[in-house]
Amino acid sequence: MPHKIVSKKQLSENVFTADVEAPLVARSCKPGQFIILSISSEYSERIPLTIAGADIKTGTIRLIWQRLGKTTAELSNLKVGDSIENILGPLGQPTHIEKFGTVVCTGGGIGSAPLLPIAQGMKQAGNKIISILGARNKELIILEDEFRALSDELIIVTDDGSYGTKALVTGPLEEVCRRQPKPNLAVAIGPAIMMKFCCAITKKYEVPTVVSLNTIMVDGTGMCGGCRVEVGGQTKFVCVDGPEFDGHLVNFDLMMKRMSAYKNQEQQAIRQYDEHNCKIGLKKR
Ligand code: NAD
Ligand code: FES
């Protein structure tokens, strides 16, 4: 069934958001869950995207993505009124939400998108929310207004100091963990290397930590094994056991190695897509 794009906006240089018709998903999804989409039926790649929000009244879900590979480039080129052919979901386990006390939510770059519904859910459950948003520069900070609205404290950092404090997210995270009383829970979402170092800090201060993993996925139902990770010495499937795990138990080094397995093919696919698009553009002129 085609899913119409009802609104679309560019959030930063390579980050886009769209509200997409998917009434059944909107009705049943919970924070932390994701969908797998394919843009057109026959030859499209399937990619997982976190559900960044849902509106039961309009029957739409909010997707946020970074133009990184061929499919996210194709998605970025779709316009309002265009359709995504298949949306499968909601998939994965919802976030475990309860009143923990103080929750420090750390989002690195595009990782702030999947973090948003989790932080909103934690706030609704009565937690005090300290949010840390980090990006390479000011233009790449996304969802600042949304996080400001739900947070008791919002800390912004940029790698180059063009906005907020000049630091990586691990700087303020350590400062928050050193406070007395320390946070009761940390949630960290972003690049794997960021989550690895966030977990090293929270482990030092014994703050339980949840991370959301975005491995390679194919079917999203636990059948192909493409998304497997090692957690506490055991093999887990991100699509059905996750995407959230105890960050102190995740083998990030193995995960990063597996995630880079198809880097050459991914680069070749986006190169060919961009070249093809350029040629179409030249013919049109
Ligand atoms: P980025 O590389 O610009 O990093 C964002 C921020 O993370 C930085 O500004 C910094 O504060 C922090 N960071 C990065 N490396 C760090 C390190 N070594 N130590 C401490 N802090 C560090 O991020 P980006 O380009 O927006 O993100 C792209 C990556 O995020 C992709 O690899 C994508 O796969 C991943 N991603 C993850 C999820 C998820 O659910 N985990 C969701 C979307 C995207
Ligand atoms: Fe195939 Fe998880 S995506 S097992």
pLDDT at 282: 43
Ligand number nearest CA of 108 is: 1
In the chain, count of helices (H) and strands (E)? Answer: 9, 16
Atom of ligand 2 nearest to the CA of 220: 3
Tokens 């969908």 -> residue: 35
Distance CA 255, CA 57 (A): 38
pLDDT at 262: 67
- Domains of the chain: residue spans and CATH: 3-93+265-274 (2.40.30.10), 102-259 (3.40.50.80)
Provide the token pair at 38.
Answer: 């394919």
**Measuring from atom 1 of ligand 2, which residue has the nearest CA?**
224
Distance CA 53, CA 27 (A): 11
pTM value is 0.91
Give the Cβ contact number of residue 253 at 10 Å. Answer: 12
Segment 216-252, tens digit of pLDDT: 898 899 999 999 999 999 999 999 999 999 999 999 9
**Measuring from atom 8 of ligand 1, which residue has the nearest CA?**
135
User: At 261, is the pLDDT very low, low, confident or very high (cuts 50, 70, 90)?
Assistant: low
